[in-house]
Amino acid sequence: MKVYDAHHIRNICLMGHAGSGKTTLAEAMLFESNEINRRGTVEERSTASDYHDIEHERGSSVMGTVLFAEWKDYKINIIDTPGYDDYVGEVISALRVVDTGIMVLNSAHGVEVGTETLWKYTQQFHTPIIFVVNKIDSEQSDFEKTVEQAKERFGREVTVVQYPLNEGAGFNTIIDVLKMTMYRFPPQGGKPEKLPIPDSEREKADRLHRELIEIVAENDENLMAQYFERGELDEDEIRVGLRHAMVDRLIFPLFVTSAKNDMGSGRIMGFIDNVVPAPVEMPPKKSMEGKDIVCDPNGKPSIFVFKSMSEPHLGEMSFFRVYSGTIHHGHDLVNEQTDVTERLGQIFAVNGKRREDLAHLYAGDIGATVKLKNTHVNNTLHEKGEHFVLPPIEFPLPKVRIAVHATKKGEEDKLGIALHHLQEEDPTLIVEHSQELKQTLILGQGEMHIGVAKWRLQNRFKVDVEFTEPKVPYRETIQKSVKGMYRHKKQSGGAGQFAEVHMIVEPYHDGMANPHGVSVRGEEVHELPWGGKLIFLNCIVGGVIEARFLPAIVKGVLEKMNEGPITGSYVRDIRVSVFDGKMHPVDSNEAAFKTAGRMAFKDCFIQADPKLLEPLYDVEVISPNDYMGDIMSDLPARRGLIIGMEADGHYQRIKCKMPLAELDKYSSALRSMSQGRASFSSVFAEYHPVPMPIQQKLHQDYISHQKDDE
CATH number, domain containing residue 416: 3.30.70.870
Question: In the predicted model, is pLDDT for residue 709 greater than 70?
Answer: no
DSSP code of 565?
T
pLDDT at position 211 is 92
Distance CA 508, CA 668 (A): 39
Cα→Cα distances 424→377, 399, 405, 442, 706, Å:
7, 19, 19, 13, 37
In a domain, 1, yes or no: no
Residues 182 and 37 in one domain: yes
Residues 246-255, mean pLDDT to the nearest whole number? 96
Taking residues 36-46, report their average pLDDT. Answer: 93
- Tell whether 229 and 318 lie within a shared domain: no
The answer as to whether 698 is a domain residue is: no
For position 710, what pLDDT does the model report?
Answer: 46
Q: Per residue in 117-152, pLDDT tens?
A: 899 999 999 999 999 999 999 999 999 999 999 999
CATH of the domain at 106: 3.40.50.300
pLDDT in tens, 638-690: 999 999 999 876 789 999 999 999 998 898 899 889 887 788 889 999 999 99
More confident residue, 339 or 224: 339
Predicted model pTM = 0.88
Residue 357 CB neighbours (<10 A): 10
Q: For 423-457, how does the pLDDT look when each residue is reduced to its tens digit (9 = 90+)?
A: 999 999 999 999 999 999 999 998 899 999 999 99
Question: Helix, strand, coil shares of the chain as percentages rounded to 5?
Answer: 30, 30, 35
H/E run at residue 454: helix 447-459
Q: What is the CATH number of the domain that holds 563?
A: 3.30.230.10
Containing structural domain, residue 623: 612-693
Q: What Cα–Cα distance (Å) separates residue 537 from each residue in 73, 295, 394, 524, 575?
A: 78, 63, 44, 6, 8
Q: Which residue stretches of 574-650 are H helix?
A: 590-607, 628-637
Calpha distance 364→487 (Å, rounded)? 75
69 shares its domain with 171: yes
Same domain, 206 and 153: yes
| Residues 44 and 170 grouped into a single domain | yes
309 and 268 co-located in one domain: no
Do 153 and 79 share a structural domain? Answer: yes
Number of domains composing the chain? 5
Q: What is the CATH number of the domain that holds 680?
A: 3.30.70.240
